[in-house]
Amino acid sequence: MKKDDRGRTSRQARRYQDMKRLLSFDGKGIYCAQADVHIDPWKPVAKAFITHGHSDHARWGMGSYVCTNASVSILKHRLGKVKIHGIAYGEAMMVNGVEFTFFPAGHVIGSAQIRVSYKGETWVVSGDYKLSNDGISEAFEPVKCHTFITESTFGLPVYRWDPQEQIYDRMNTWWKKNQAEGKVSIITAYSLGKAQRIIQNLDHSVGKIFTHGAIEATNRALRASGVPLLDTTHATANLDYKEYAGGLVIATSSAVNSNWTKKFKDFRLGIASGWMQVRGARRRRAADIGFVLSDHADWNELNQAIALTEASEIYVTHGFSEIFSQHLIEQGYDAKVVKTAFEGEQLDSTEEEKVA
Give a yes or no: residue 14 inside a domain. yes
Report the CATH number that the domain containing residue 274 is assigned in CATH: 3.40.50.10890
Kindly state whether residues 284 and 183 are assigned to the same domain: yes
Kindly state whether residues 90 and 26 are assigned to the same domain: yes
Residue 237 has pLDDT above 70, yes or no: no
Residue 196 has pLDDT above 70, yes or no: yes
SS3 of residue 273 by DSSP: coil
> How confident is residue 12, by pLDDT bands cut at 50, 70 and 90?
very low
Give a yes or no: residue 347 inside a domain. no
Give a yes or no: residue 80 inside a domain. yes
Tally of domains within the chain = 2
Q: What is the mean pLDDT of residues 66-88?
A: 97
CB-CB contact of 86 with 69 (8 Å): yes
Kindly state whether residues 73 and 104 are assigned to the same domain: yes
Give a yes or no: residue 250 inside a domain. yes
Kindly state whether residues 264 and 247 are assigned to the same domain: yes
**What pLDDT was estimated at residue 264?**
85
Query: Cα–Cα distance between 145 and 177 in angstroms, integer?
Result: 49
Kindly state whether residues 179 and 264 are assigned to the same domain: yes
> How confident is residue 1, by pLDDT bands cut at 50, 70 and 90?
very low
SS3 of residue 135 by DSSP: coil
SS3 of residue 233 by DSSP: strand
Residue 35 has pLDDT above 70, yes or no: yes
Kindly state whether residues 14 and 138 are assigned to the same domain: yes
**What pLDDT was estimated at residue 18?**
47
The answer to whether the pTM exceeds 0.85 is yes
Q: What is the mean pLDDT of residues 15-28?
A: 75
Per-residue pLDDT of 294-334, as tens digits, reads: 999 999 999 999 999 999 999 999 999 999 999 999 999 99
Give a yes or no: residue 354 inside a domain. no
Structural domain of residue 123, as residue ranges? 10-158+296-337
Per-residue pLDDT of 137-187, as tens digits, reads: 999 999 999 999 999 999 999 999 999 999 999 999 999 999 999 999 999
Alpha helices of 81-139 — where are they, by DSSP H?
A: none
Residue 286 has pLDDT above 90, yes or no: no
> How confident is residue 6, by pLDDT bands cut at 50, 70 and 90?
very low
Kindly state whether residues 232 and 282 are assigned to the same domain: yes
> How confident is residue 39, by pLDDT bands cut at 50, 70 and 90?
very high
Kindly state whether residues 17 and 146 are assigned to the same domain: yes
Taking Cα atoms as reference points, which of 64, 138, 80, 152 lies closest to residue 105? Answer: 138
Taking Cα atoms as reference points, which of 274, 36, 17, 299 lies closest to residue 150? Answer: 299
| Whole-number average pLDDT of the chain | 91
Report the CATH number that the domain containing residue 97 is assigned in CATH: 3.60.15.10
**What pLDDT was estimated at residue 283?**
64
Residue 9 has pLDDT above 70, yes or no: no
Instruction: Give the chain's largest Cα–Cα span.
Output: 78
